[in-house]
Amino acid sequence: MSKTNRGNFFEDFEVGQVIRHATPRTVTSGDQALYTALYGSRFAVQSSDAFARALGYAHAPLDDLLTFHIVFGKTVPDISLNAVANLGYAGGRFLAPVYPGDTLSTVSEVIGKKENSNGKTGVVYVRSTGYTATGTEVLDYVRWVMVNKRDPGSPAPEPVVPDLPAAIDPHALGTAAPLLDTANWDNALSGSEFRFGDYAIGEKIDHVDGMTVEEAEHQMATRLYQNTAKVHFNQHTESKGRFGKRLIYGGHVISLARALSFNGLGNAFHIAGINGGRHVAPLFSGDTVYAWSEVLDASEIDGRQDIGALRLRLVATKNRPCQDFPLKSEDGKYLDDVILDFDYWALIPK
C-alpha cells in the first residue's frame, strides 16, 4: 500500500461524503504580519489592537481573507490536488472573529458532482466549514472545482448539482463582529470619512491603485496557507500544461483586490458574507492587478444600530486600469482583461 497521497480524482468523490481535513493550524501575529506584507491591507480594525479594542474587540482580529485562505488551504490535498481550476464560490458566511492564538481546522461535505462533456474532467461541489479548537464555527462556504478523472473511460455518474443561494440574507450577519462602540470610530485613523449612509446603490468606485504580482510573493502566500495545489507550485509539471507555467492562486487575486479596495471603501472593515464569486481568467506572475467596486445593495442588520451591510461587487483586472469600470462586452461575455468577479457583503459603521 502506498504511503503517499496523490490526491482524489473525480471518481473518488461521492455525494454526501464528509472529509475531515489535516492538519489543524494555529495562527499567530506573525501570520497576520506576513499577510500584511504580502498584500498591504490597511483596514484599521485588523491593523491596530488599540483601534479594535476601542470598538469592543478583544484585540485586532485576523484579516477575514487570511481566515478564509487557511480554512481553504486545509481542503486542497483532499479536494483540489488534481484540480484543473477552482471555478466559483457561494453561500459563504463569516460567523465569528478569529484572533492570533486560535487553532483552525476544516471539515468538508461533498454536496454535488457532474462530469463534463469532454469525459476527462468533472465538477465537484463541496461545503467547507472552519472551526476553532473549542468548536466555534468561524466560516462556512461552498465552492466548486473542476477535477481531473483518473480514467477518462470510466462511466459518468448521475449528475447532482446543488441549489445554491443567490445571496446571503444580510439581516443574519450580526455575529460576524461584536457590538461596536462606534463613538470611538475615528475616521482620521481609519483612513476614510465615508460610512454606511454615504454610499448609494449603483455607485461605482475605481480603486485607482495597481499592484504587480511577483512569483516569490505568490509562492510565499500559498505556503502560508499550506495550499499544495500543483498548478500553483510545480513549474516542472505545469510547463507541460495548458499555459506552460504556474497559475496564481485565485484567492491571491481576491486578497489583492480587497486590499486595493481600501482606497474608496476604507471603512468597510469586515467581510461578512460571500454571495458568489468567479475566477474569470488566469493571472500570472508579472501581471498588474487593478480593481473597482459597485454597490449592489445596502441593508440594515437585525439587532444592530452600530453597523450596516453593503453588498459589493468587486471586479479585478490584469494590466488594465479601471477608470471605465471594465466588465463585459455587449454580447455578455467577460472582457479579456477581467480576472475576478466577486460578490460579497461588507460591514461598515453608521
- pLDDT at position 176 is 84
How many helices (H) and strands (E) are present in the chain, helices listed first? 10, 12
Q: Is residue 4 part of a domain?
A: no
CA R_g for the chain: 20
Q: Is residue 158 part of a domain?
A: no
> How many domains are contained in the chain?
1
Q: Which residues pair with 122 in a beta bridge?
A: 115, 147
Cα 46 to its chain centre, rounded Å, is 16
- The DSSP secondary-structure symbol of 328 reads B
Q: Is residue 160 part of a domain?
A: no
C-alpha cell at 271: 467581510
pTM: 0.95
C-alpha cell at 299: 441593508
* Matching residue, cell 504556474: 246
Q: Is residue 68 part of a domain?
A: yes
One-letter amino acid at 91 equals G
Q: Is residue 1 part of a domain?
A: no
- The DSSP secondary-structure symbol of 334 reads B
Helix (H, G, I), strand (E, B) or coil at 345: strand
- pLDDT at position 228 is 84
Domain residues for the domain of 281 are 10-151+166-349
* Matching residue, cell 468548536: 135
CATH number of the domain at 339, please. 3.10.129.10
How many degrees, rounded to 5, is the angle at CA 72 between CA 70 and CA 74?
A: 75
Interatomic CA distance for residues 256 and 38, integer angstroms = 9
Q: How close are the terminal C-alpha atoms of the chain, in Å?
A: 60
* Matching residue, cell 499592484: 211
Q: Note down pLDDT in tens along the chain; length 350 residues.
A: 788 988 899 999 999 999 999 999 999 999 999 999 999 999 999 999 999 999 999 999 999 999 999 999 999 999 998 888 888 999 999 999 999 999 999 999 999 999 999 999 999 999 999 999 999 999 999 999 999 999 999 999 999 999 999 999 998 888 889 999 999 999 999 999 999 999 999 999 999 999 999 998 989 999 999 988 878 888 888 888 888 888 899 999 999 999 999 999 999 999 999 999 999 999 999 999 999 999 999 999 999 999 999 999 999 999 999 999 999 999 999 999 999 999 999 999 99
pLDDT averaged over every residue in the chain? 95
Kindly list the distances between the CA atom of residue 273 and the CA atoms of 59, 86, 109, 318, in Å, as whole numbers in the listed order: 22, 19, 19, 25
Q: Is residue 249 part of a domain?
A: yes
Q: Is residue 161 part of a domain?
A: no
What are the DSSP calls for 164-231, one per residue? --SS--GGG-GGGSPPP-GGG--HHHHT----GGG--TT-EEE----EEPPHHHHHHHHHHTT---HH
Q: Is residue 157 part of a domain?
A: no
Interatomic CA distance for residues 87 and 128, integer angstroms = 15
